[in-house]
Amino acid sequence: YTKKEFIDLQKLAEQYGVNIIPEIDVPAHTLAFTHYKPEIGSKEYGMDHLDLFNPETYKFLDGLFKEYLEGKNPVFRGKVVHIGTDEYSNAKKEVVEKFRYFTDRYIKYVESFGKQAAVWGALTHANGDTKVKSDNVIMSCWYNGYADPKEMKRQGYKLISIPDGLTYIVPAAGYYYDYLNCEHLYNKWTPAQIGNEKFDEHDPAILGGMFAVWNDHAGNGISVKDIHDRLYPALQTLAVKFWRGAETSMPYAEFDTLRHQLSEAPGVNEAARWAKGKTLSIAQLQPGQTTGETEVGYGYRVDFNIEGAAEEKGTVLFESDNATFYIADPEEGKLGFAREGYLNKFNYKVPEGKKVSISITGDNTKTCLYVDGKLKEELGPLTIYAMKASDRTTFQNGDKNAWQPVMYNPQTRMFYQRTLVFPLAKAGSFKSKITDVRVSQK
């Protein structure tokens, strides 16, 4: 975001009673800053740690926070600003004491601009002698080994319950949750439980709860639609728990049924859910035709007959603002699709001069191709390892940002996702004859 775009986003949120809490996460998790200014990176603990003993670090951060907090109309508009303070090394006492000094310094610096400071809970991990301000400071309690919540309450912090073992989503990573266990959270958890510590349901030290989506693995094929698919049921479930705690008014099975009947918000349908029984039928699809629909979400089936013609690579069947489905992909001329910079191909070319029946189905884990009623290929999660920036491939006739992952020297394993919310807004410029188009959704 530009500063103006971020200001506008906060203003939009304010209209709906939503407070955006911006975070400048320091002094760890700071590769963005050390890439820009390498001299403030720690030579001992890694460049994702700022050097707490370098005066330039404080000069840089003072200027950075000031840039976003000063003036009558600051970039960070809300009352709360998060300063991070998460997961810094505690290898040496002098480092711990300097970290505590750093934390106290930037709590007070943020407050000097009229804001309330929030921090990640790390003061058990960084236990020491240097005093850190606690009055009117919010602490995100995510792991009790980093911050013992009962001790943090005793010290005077206001706590947000965000236990990693219950409320962390890391999409398709193989650790934490891919989808939260909503039934367990609904039946067994409230924000009064942080890790294995249980507080009184109405303890004034606990402000409430949060959950998190951490997109740790860039390049794993996860799209905004996939993130939304994970976020929305968690949002519905935890909204109840954050407001009502243990005092839920119905069994989970009833709640789970009723929540599916709710729209996301007035005029919002990010999941592209269709009404029960709704279908789209087109006798013959014309090049450039609009369908009256934008897209169809997971649980869909798209059927059509095609009499193949010679198509140039990059020929589109359907497209929307979010995705493109190709009759002939830009690289090999196969059936395929692109969204958010990812290109996925089926190992199938539409035969020229022959009529075939094609079906595409998709859910939150895979996209499948059927030819003449038989499963031809299933594009499910693909185990890959690392990405090389130099392996990016751009295309003249298709999505210029599309690329595919390349597996090499196994280091960090990832589970590359090949999902698709199917685009329907507009037909492409094709030569083949497309008939009997039918789209449905479970």
Q: Tell me what the mean pLDDT of segment 245-263 comes to.
A: 95
Q: Specify the pLDDT at position 412.
A: 65
Q: What is the DSSP string of 124-160?
A: TTT--SS----TT-EEEE--TTTS-HHHHHHHT-EEE
- Check whether 260 has a pLDDT greater than 60: yes
Q: Specify the pLDDT at position 390.
A: 41
- When the pLDDT of each residue in the chain is averaged and rounded to a whole number, the result is 93
- What's domain 3-259's architecture? Alpha-Beta Barrel (3.20)
pLDDT in tens, 234-249: 999 999 999 999 999 9
Both ends of the chain: CA-CA distance in Å?
Answer: 37
Class of CATH domain 279-441: mainly beta
Q: How confident is the model at residue 413 (pLDDT cuts 50, 70, 90)?
A: confident
Which residues 6+ apart lie within 8 Å of 414 measured at CB? 172, 173, 217, 219, 220, 383, 384, 385
Q: Specify the pLDDT at position 406.
A: 46
- 279-285 and 433-441 strand pairing: antiparallel
Per-residue CA distances from 238 to 20, 82, 191, 389 (Å): 18, 22, 9, 38
Q: What are the residue ranges spanned by the domains of the chain?
A: 3-259, 279-441
Structure tokens at 302: 């798209």
Q: How confident is the model at residue 414 (pLDDT cuts 50, 70, 90)?
A: confident
> Which sign, positive or negative, has the C-alpha torsion 140, 144, 147, 153?
positive
Helix, coil or strand: residue 33: helix
Give the position of tokens 């807004």.
425
- DSSP 8-state secondary structure symbol assigned to residue 39: G
Q: Tell me what the mean pLDDT of segment 383-404 comes to.
A: 48
d(CA 152, CA 163): 15
Which residues 6+ apart lie within 8 Å of 277 measured at CB? none
pLDDT in tens, 44-60: 999 999 999 999 999 99
89: number of Cβ within 10 Å:
18
The answer to whether the pTM exceeds 0.75 is: yes
Answer whether 3-259 and 279-441 agree in fold. Answer: no
